[in-house]
Amino acid sequence: MAISLSLSELASRIDGKIICGKAGSLFYGMASLDTAGPSDISFLGNEKYLPQFHATRAGSVIVPEGFEFKTDGPALIAVSNPSLGFAEVVRHFAVEPKPFTPGIHPGAHVAPTAKADPGKVCIHAGAVIMDDASIGEGTEISPNAVIQTGASIGKNCQIGANVTIREGCIIGDRVLIQPGAVIGSDGYGYEFSEGRHIKIDQVGIVEIGNDVEIGANTTIDRARFGKTIIGEGTKIDNLVQIAHNVVLGKHCLIVSQSGLAGSCRIEDHVIVAAQSGIAGHVVIGEKAILSARSGATTSLPGGITYSGKPALPMKEEVKLQAHVRRLPKMLARIKALEAALLKSSSTDL
Amino acid sequence: MAISLSLSELASRIDGKIICGKAGSLFYGMASLDTAGPSDISFLGNEKYLPQFHATRAGSVIVPEGFEFKTDGPALIAVSNPSLGFAEVVRHFAVEPKPFTPGIHPGAHVAPTAKADPGKVCIHAGAVIMDDASIGEGTEISPNAVIQTGASIGKNCQIGANVTIREGCIIGDRVLIQPGAVIGSDGYGYEFSEGRHIKIDQVGIVEIGNDVEIGANTTIDRARFGKTIIGEGTKIDNLVQIAHNVVLGKHCLIVSQSGLAGSCRIEDHVIVAAQSGIAGHVVIGEKAILSARSGATTSLPGGITYSGKPALPMKEEVKLQAHVRRLPKMLARIKALEAALLKSSSTDL
Amino acid sequence: MAISLSLSELASRIDGKIICGKAGSLFYGMASLDTAGPSDISFLGNEKYLPQFHATRAGSVIVPEGFEFKTDGPALIAVSNPSLGFAEVVRHFAVEPKPFTPGIHPGAHVAPTAKADPGKVCIHAGAVIMDDASIGEGTEISPNAVIQTGASIGKNCQIGANVTIREGCIIGDRVLIQPGAVIGSDGYGYEFSEGRHIKIDQVGIVEIGNDVEIGANTTIDRARFGKTIIGEGTKIDNLVQIAHNVVLGKHCLIVSQSGLAGSCRIEDHVIVAAQSGIAGHVVIGEKAILSARSGATTSLPGGITYSGKPALPMKEEVKLQAHVRRLPKMLARIKALEAALLKSSSTDL
């Protein structure tokens, strides 16, 4: 991690022009306009953050070219794209990713029948790799993660601490699983008989494609039979529930605390915003967007943005909600009509 | 796990009749109509899946007796109940459950004062059994699960990987806890004093009846005093929150991401569908059903299906929602009335 | 833990007066009126629980002074404040908190470069403390918790079983983290390029103030850069999601299954009730209260109670919902107007 950056080094690194401030001033970190202090670099990426800019305590701010100069504010550097410039600052201060160091910690528990080449994988203390599981080269298993019997992890994956991957599940390459996630828990299926719920065996697996990311404490159930499928490149946030036999397409985003019920099918490039729910057995078409807290109770065609529960095309739902807010006025108009009619009929008499 | 099944073996196993296909054709797996490939067996359990049947790539499909024969589709076998026939196929291909093998892995940490007979329990690597905890015979503790001081686990339970069961909690027999679940975390209770929230001690426990199942990453808080109770036979899905002092009846279903607030009481055979919430201290009567995303803010009589927030009997709620959808038309009618009245009064003049 | 308490001991301990029952009767536990049995002490803290009082099976009940005497009920002791009296009973029966016993269990994995004084910290079996992490004195790390590289834990903290604290995160003093919580998972941020979501590095940390409590299986993401901040004294319940760059104030309550989206800012003394959601980048003002299941889609001024989605001041939202329930009647009134108008215009003809 770099320790500091002078204003002139900053200007040269991001190909910007100092429009205010001393070339030798030193900065030690980076932060948003809201939270930056005098030793931090920040940026103004969008005019809507001007109030935050005027209130910022940042030592230096990256601003767009043509930005109006102010005498007593922070040091300013103008660039064509402040957001990209700031990304460069982030890289400067970022902890360099630790190089991958293969090895199996003596405190890890790797079953004799597991396939894990100590020269090519990294398995930390307390991790448990059970019988017949296999770990691909370049993959890191964090402390206390559990890879159960026969599970297969691809190459260059990062499996977080305290993650559980249950029996037989298949994980692709370059998959990133945040701590505490559970892959392959039993699907939730029972038959009701004589007043009791009898468990239906859940004998399938979960199969996760390449380049998938799975959030902290998210749960993905194994299929009743066959596979629960997470398509290549899909990114799942924290605390998401994915039930048995869901087929989730490629390059989808499933945002935090959403739930996908059993056997629903989500096509490619779908976005499900936070705290949404999708009913069992429905199909959500390609490139559909469900806004936050939507509840999809039926299949929905792709390419459209939905909201509400039941989820409707967003335009309709926004209009309905506007009508609801207008209800007190509607009631007043009905009363006025009633009064007018009463009056006109009395007049008639 | 069986490797393959020929069409004639399949027919004889499920007591069916080959109506299309070669007796010697081999199949290697099973899947739903949607996801099956040429080496898979599938089934048509319900006429509403006919479109999926016509599009299926399955090698063989189990169909109802009397189903109309088609020349160029998959191999077909007719039986009286395709769903039951398919369950037989699932059994054929399923991994045989591993026989229970008692023993304590040398990488497990069992406190000297814990009661766990190495000849009768199975404790995996990395599991931690703390002082005075007891593990019943036939029970399996998965890797890295933690059973804290004085907790008691019954017979023939399966405790998943990375599960935590805190001090003093009592788990019945044949209880199945999926990975990552937390039993006995502190209840959420504070007193507000001089601008700060002061923790109220949570000295009770959680008591879980026989034959309960608890989903992955679900959390059940210990009582402030006394017990949080989960009744016999109740099945709880993933990511459910059960607060302190909840009394949950027997044979209930609590579906994923639902939350039961402190001290609510759920009577027997209640179903709470996904993403629902139940307020603190209310009572939900026997055999009540809360549909997905309901919010019960008051006590609700049993035997009725509810929906919405606040939860209303479903019939009422559906009617209200239909009215909301009709709001634009209602507004148009009000406008028409206003125009007509204006016209009629001008006419009067 | 005390084993029993006689009625006379109880009376003297809570400075109460026996108004019914024998001085020598022994009681062995405590419970609410609903769940108490003949060997339990309970209390009547509020008149609204009179029905539960009349149905209780408790052996003894603490009642308010002036409470009317009944012959055949439980033993009764009158005090000025039954709730405080009962708190004293809770203290009597409570398990005495185990004294803090420093030491590092031989089954823990503490990296040589970690700072953890075996004479001043307590680290249980299976816990993993990675390089350069530091553990303050008086802090207890429960079994199978993972403290990753460079994380810093303050003094007198309790870190639950199976908790994960990722690289570089900073935890204050007297922080209580329930089992399974994840601190410092990657923020959820991607750039969309050529049909794929490309991960944006999340190089910041989480910083947690003194006296914070974090619930079981709650997840708090590290900042994209800078810090995700949890202010001093704030109490977070189970299964809560806190996204990257959230700034959460001091002495807030965030109740279970709520979600705070990226970069939102919650000022001091805010209460967010269960299953609520707060959108990204908004500001919730000091002492605002969001009732259960609120969805704050815009910034909200402090000091007001909100409800609904979008969250509105509770009074407005309650009024709107009342209008919705009145919709069938409004429709009937419109029909009546139409009929009347039709009649009056026919009359005109």
Nearest-CB residue to B235 (from A164, A180, A190): A190
Contact C42, C30 (CB under 8 A): yes
Read off the pLDDT of each residue in A287-315 and give the average, rounded to a whole number: 97
Contact A240, A224 (CB under 8 A): no
Q: What percent of chain B has pLDDT above 70?
A: 96
CATH superfamily of C5-94: MurE/MurF, N-terminal domain (3.40.1390.10)
Nearest-CB residue to A215 (from C185, C247, C320): C185
Contact B258, B275 (CB under 8 A): yes
Tell me which of A303-312, A317-326, B306-315, C292-301 is least confident. Answer: A317-326
For residue B100, the model assigns a pLDDT of: 93
Which of helix, strand or coil describes residue B187? coil
Residue pLDDT, tens place only, C291-303:
999 999 999 999 9
For residue B96, the model assigns a pLDDT of: 67
Average pLDDT, chain A: 93
Query: Chains touching chain B at 3 or more Cβ pairs under 8 angstroms?
Result: A, C
For residue A71, the model assigns a pLDDT of: 62
d(CA B210, CA A198): 13
Q: How far is B176 from chain C (nearest CA, A)?
A: 18
* Partner A contacted by B85 (CB < 8 A): no
* Partner B contacted by C13 (CB < 8 A): no
Tell me which of A195-199, A311-315, B75-79, C191-195 is least confident. Answer: C191-195
Residue pLDDT, tens place only, A158-180:
999 999 999 999 999 999 999 99
- What residues contact residue C139 under an 8 Å CB cut-off, 6+ apart? C121, C122, C153, C154, C155, C156, C157, C158, C159
**B196/C233 touch (CB, cutoff 8 Å), yes or no:** yes
Contacts of B327 in chain C (CB under 8 A): 327
**A221/B216 touch (CB, cutoff 8 Å), yes or no:** yes
Binning pLDDT at 50, 70 and 90, where does residue A210 land?
very high
Q: Which of B208, B200, B206 is nearest to B185 (CA)?
A: B206
For residue A2, the model assigns a pLDDT of: 58
Size of interface A-C (CB pairs under 8 A): 183
Q: How far is A98 from chain B (nearest CA, A)?
A: 26
* Partner A contacted by B233 (CB < 8 A): yes
Contacts of A42 in chain C (CB under 8 A): none
Binning pLDDT at 50, 70 and 90, where does residue C342 land?
confident
Q: Which of residues 109-128 of A touch B (CB under 8 A)?
A: 109, 126, 128
Q: What percent of chain C has pLDDT above 70?
A: 97
Q: Which of residues 45-84 of C touch A (CB under 8 A)?
A: none
Read off the pLDDT of each residue in A303-321 and give the average, rounded to a whole number: 95
Contacts of C324 in chain B (CB under 8 A): 320, 323-324
Read off the pLDDT of each residue in A303-323 and give the average, rounded to a whole number: 94
Q: What percent of chain A has pLDDT above 70?
A: 96
Read off the pLDDT of each residue in B145-171 and give the average, rounded to a whole number: 98
First to last CA, chain B: 91
Contacts of B128 in chain C (CB under 8 A): 107, 124-126, 143-144, 161
* Partner B contacted by A245 (CB < 8 A): yes
For residue C347, the model assigns a pLDDT of: 64
* Partner C contacted by A327 (CB < 8 A): yes
Size of interface B-C (CB pairs under 8 A): 179
Read off the pLDDT of each residue in A313-330 and give the average, rounded to a whole number: 92
Average pLDDT, chain B: 93
**A125/C148 touch (CB, cutoff 8 Å), yes or no:** no
Task: Indicate if the pLDDT at residue C180 is higher than 90.
Answer: yes
For residue B39, the model assigns a pLDDT of: 87
Residue pLDDT, tens place only, B89-139:
888 877 666 789 999 999 999 999 999 999 999 999 999 999 999 999 999
Read off the pLDDT of each residue in C128-152 and give the average, rounded to a whole number: 98
User: Best residue in A188, A199, A228 to probe B by mutation, most B CBs within 10 Å?
Assistant: A188
Active-site positions of B read 244
Contacts of C105 in chain B (CB under 8 A): 109
* Partner B contacted by C349 (CB < 8 A): no
DSSP assignment of C26-80 equals: EE-EE--TTT--TTEEEE--SGGGHHHHHH---SEEEEETTPPP-SSS-EEEEES
Contact C39, C58 (CB under 8 A): no
Task: Indicate if the pLDDT at residue B344 is higher than 50.
Answer: yes
Residue pLDDT, tens place only, C274-284:
999 999 999 99
Read off the pLDDT of each residue in A184-206 and give the average, rounded to a whole number: 92
Least CA distance to B252: which residue of chain A?
A197
The class (CATH top level) of C103-312 is mainly beta
C244 part of the active site? yes
Residue C122 CB burial class (10 angstroms; 0-12, 13-18, ≥19): buried
For residue B340, the model assigns a pLDDT of: 87
DSSP B49: G
| CA distances in angstroms from B318 to A310, B255, B322, C337, listed in the order given | 11, 22, 6, 26
ipTM of the complex: 0.86
Q: Which of B131, B133, B132, B135 is nearest to B104 (CA)?
A: B135
Task: Indicate if the pLDDT at residue C272 is higher than 70.
Answer: yes
Contacts of B334 in chain A (CB under 8 A): 330, 333-334, 337
Tell me which range, B22-36, B40-54, C204-218, is most confidently predicted by mean pLDDT.
C204-218
User: Best residue in A42, A62, A88, A162 to probe C by mutation, most C CBs within 10 Å?
Assistant: A162
- What residues contact residue A201 under an 8 Å CB cut-off, 6+ apart? A224, B90, B94
Nearest-CB residue to A341 (from C128, C190, C340): C340
* Partner C contacted by B261 (CB < 8 A): yes
Binning pLDDT at 50, 70 and 90, where does residue A217 land?
very high
**A201/B32 touch (CB, cutoff 8 Å), yes or no:** no
Residue pLDDT, tens place only, C64-107:
998 876 667 899 999 999 988 988 888 887 766 678 999 999 99
For residue C1, the model assigns a pLDDT of: 45
* Partner C contacted by B296 (CB < 8 A): no
Contact C136, C153 (CB under 8 A): yes
* Partner A contacted by B327 (CB < 8 A): yes
User: Best residue in C27, C162, C211 to probe B by mutation, most B CBs within 10 Å?
Assistant: C162
Binning pLDDT at 50, 70 and 90, where does residue B84 land?
confident
* Partner C contacted by B334 (CB < 8 A): yes
Least CA distance to A309: which residue of chain B?
B293
Read off the pLDDT of each residue in A46-73 and give the average, rounded to a whole number: 86
- What residues contact residue C221 under an 8 Å CB cut-off, 6+ apart? A216, A238, C184, C185, C186, C187, C188, C202, C206, C228, C242, C243, C244
